[in-house]
Amino acid sequence: MASMTTLGEFIVQQQHAFPHATGELSSLISAIRLAAKIVNREINRAGLSPDIIGAVGVENVQGEVQQKLDVFANDKFKAALEARGEVCGLASEEEEDFVVFDGERGKNASYVVLIDPLDGSSNIDVNVSVGTIFSIYRRITPVGEPVSGKDFLQPGCNQVAAGYVIYGSSTMLVYTTGVGVNGFTYDPTLGAFALSHPNMRLPDNGTIYSINEGNYIKFPAGVKQYIKYCQERDEATNRPYTSRYIGSLVSDFHRNLLKGGIYIYPTTESAPDGKLRLLYECNPIAFLAEQAGGIASDGRQRILDIEPTSLHQRVPFFAGSRLMVEQAQQFLNQSAEVVAS
């Protein structure tokens, strides 16, 4: 069997392709790789350890009940990123405010990281795939000074890297540095991530739509119309489409990335601003979608162009195959025009 390129080898190869690279970003990705291995080990033990599964008993800043693995994953990623010395601050879905790495190495570091340590963690107890989502930016404040809020409140188009780890039937790390999307599958016999999905591309069209239809009655009219369009029979466009919804953003997006499809989490009557977090979830997934040839929007505008106003800002989210997202946006625009008239 031909040998496969490991993530470590791939990082070195990529660094050689950019003569002016300092190696800091490569080291940062390596820190994420290390923390992902540790979290993966605990997830695989979850069914055997009562200390790992279940709720902590408190709510995070999002108003969501924290799971034990939420806290564990947050602590491990935070520790791994601080130890490397390439990160000056971290913002996490599990933290009320951003965390400053104010040691000497942290102050002189060039990057900030925003992270959802364990997306879909409520699924752990029932053995459904979960994930980690990360987003990396260059700091705005001068090196040598503590980071501030403006370092984290950057539009997604400023990302220098983003990705996710999916902990499922196999564990994969998928990431981009703005030159395409590559996926690495974890081989537990070697303890290494190996390049298994080079140059991942979203098909221009697909036959899967991913949305929580249990909230149908609360959806905007344009979204309801798009769902009906997906369900109508039309052989010319391969409809009806297939409905697939796991309830873990990483899992749903990963499937659609491989097979083609659209992921939708719109506004609802109970969540008028949407539910997903712009900085920890939507921006990194949008960066990946675009690098793979797809589209990500809030139904009106490009996700990566949105200027953040708060650390835990929520937005509606439409991401996936280009033609499917464009079609959904047409229904939303037509609905808006009817209301305006």
Q: Output the known binding site for substrate.
A: 119-122, 212, 245, 275
Interatomic CA distance for residues 195 and 174, integer angstroms: 10
What is the distance between the alpha carbons of residues 33 and 176, in angstroms, rounded to a whole number? 14
Instruction: Name beta bridge partners: 133.
Output: 116, 164
Tell which residue, 48, 50, 49, 73, has the closest CA to residue 60: 73
> Which alpha helices (DSSP H) does the chain contain, by range?
7-16, 24-44, 68-84, 104-107, 149-152, 221-231, 249-259, 283-291, 322-340
Annotated binding site for Mg(2+): 93, 116, 118-119, 281
List C-alpha distances in Å: 140 to 144, 148, 159, 180, 215. 12, 9, 12, 25, 40
CB distance 131 to 249 below 8 Å: yes
Detail the residues annotated as belonging to a binding site: 93, 116, 118-122, 212, 245, 275, 281
Considering only CA atoms, which of 244, 256, 248 is closest in space to residue 276?
A: 248
- When computed from its CA atoms, the radius of gyration of the chain, rounded to whole angstroms, is 20
Instruction: Quickly tell me which residue has 């994420």 as its tokens.
Output: 32
